[in-house]
Amino acid sequence: MSSETLLKAPPATSIYTPTSEVRDRFDTYVMGTYGRFPIALERGAGCRVWDTEGKEYLDFVAGIATCTLGHAHPALAATVAKQIQKLHHVSNLYYIAEQGELAEWIVKHSCADRVFFCNSGAEANEAAIKLARKYSHTVQQIEQPVILTAKASFHGRTLATITATGQPKYQKHFDPLVPGFAYVPYNDLEALEDAISDLDEGNRRVSAIMLEALQGEGGVRPGDLDYFHGVRKICDETEILLILDEVQVGMGRTGKWWGYENLGIEPDIFTSAKGLAGGIPIGAMMCKKAYDVFEAGNHASTFGGNPFACAAALTVAKTLEEEGILDNARSRGEQLRANLNAIAQQHPSLISEVRGWGLINGLELKEDIELTAVELVKAAMNKGLLLVPAGNKVVRFVPPLIVSAAEVDEATEKLEAAISSLVP
């Protein structure tokens, strides 16, 4: 079902505030931790948003792969309105019915047996790192465990997860970093095998391999099937844990529930967050029963798995399932890649590649041209299309999973107009 048939644009609820006033307030009171584009968004409906000056945009960012059902979806709106009047938060000192129901849904729709809930992707990955380390010490009997991650990866902004992130630009000025991590090229099995051998010395050993099924921030780079089958084989033979970071690709984004389904393998531990509750903050770390070594007091999260977030996530899950939205994600993804490839053929001197799964796709600009991803994103914004960079040369397309065929065509028409405005 398209976003256009689901709902109409909600009316503005306030007098428009000039964007400059919003920016001035931000610059005065909010830390400058983000490089913000010069618009302030006020409201949304389906795959469209409006800024505080009334301009409409087609949203192919979706909160960076987060607003699974788009904006103001009737089912999600009804759930959060009902739940906030019923019970929105209690401590994990008590049983939470919604949390148990969501965990059951995840287990029945994945390879996992156990679930831990938190608030974000970074927290989910932090939980996975802690679980792997405890397993390393208590089961594998490794005194100095090392977790291998990929170069160009992105796993979060906490100290442990930026250390796990194989991009020095995110680590600069935050040393000393957390020990126990090493990095290898993505999709390079020989380099992985060499690293495992090189790191096996004395009391030190590789205990886990942590990878994204598709690298998002690293340029929308899907995992190679042969590579991941090889990684799974190595892990099986050496008893190394395989952790998959599915924060960006999980929960239907690729046209399948989980990214690993595109690779034909199963992880031992995996994480999810962004799209899980369609924009309500939640994160989850899942594992198979054999690796569930956490005990009471080992890990916790005050807000993790509260009734409000879990009710929202259950609604997202059930809506995706009942309305066949994963089929839409696959179909619209194929359409989007076809459209982008047609644009690439028209501009061979600008565009080097189009790649992705489902509704996470990247358009890579050629390295030898001056045009950057940010510049193209700004040009698209001027044409009423919101996109997001994934590195210096890749533009990412991650619309809500309810996007319609007409909206995909509209987005690529706006992209063509943006490119034309940049290229004589």
Look up 181 and say whether it is catalytic: no
Could you say which of 3.40.50.450, 3.40.630.30, 3.40.640.10, 3.10.310.40 is the CATH number of the domain covering 77-322? 3.40.640.10
Structure tokens belonging to residue 186: 């993505």
pLDDT digits (tens, 9 = 90+) for 279-336: 999 999 999 999 999 999 999 999 999 999 999 999 999 999 999 999 999 999 999 9
Gap between the Cα atoms of 359 and 399, Å rounded: 7
Gap between the Cα atoms of 343 and 341, Å rounded: 5
Determine phi and psi for 358, rounding to 5 degrees: 50, -125
Catalytic residue among 181, 245, 256, 270: 245
Q: Residue 33 has what DSSP assignment?
A: -
Is 322 within 8 Å of 334 (Cβ atoms)? no
Gap between the Cα atoms of 252 and 15, Å rounded: 37
Look up 174 and say whether it is catalytic: no
Residues in the chain: 424
Catalytic residue among 274, 383, 393, 414: 274
Gap between the Cα atoms of 285 and 198, Å rounded: 30
Catalytic residue among 116, 154, 228, 397: 154
Domain spans of the chain? 77-322, 324-394+414-424
Q: Is residue 10 predicted with pLDDT exceeding 80?
A: no
pLDDT digits (tens, 9 = 90+) for 62-72: 999 999 999 99
pLDDT digits (tens, 9 = 90+) for 262-281: 999 999 999 999 999 999 99
Please indicate whether the domains covering 77-322 and 324-394+414-424 agree at the CATH topology level: no
Instruction: Mention the CATH class of domain 324-394+414-424.
Output: alpha beta
Is 156 within 8 Å of 243 (Cβ atoms)? no
The stretch 131-152 carries a mean pLDDT of 97
Is 220 within 8 Å of 394 (Cβ atoms)? yes
Look up 245 and say whether it is catalytic: yes
Residue 24, pLDDT score: 86
Residue 12, pLDDT score: 46
Is 279 within 8 Å of 63 (Cβ atoms)? yes
DSSP string, 393-420: SEEEE---TT--HHHHHHHHHHHHHHHH
Residue 18, pLDDT score: 58
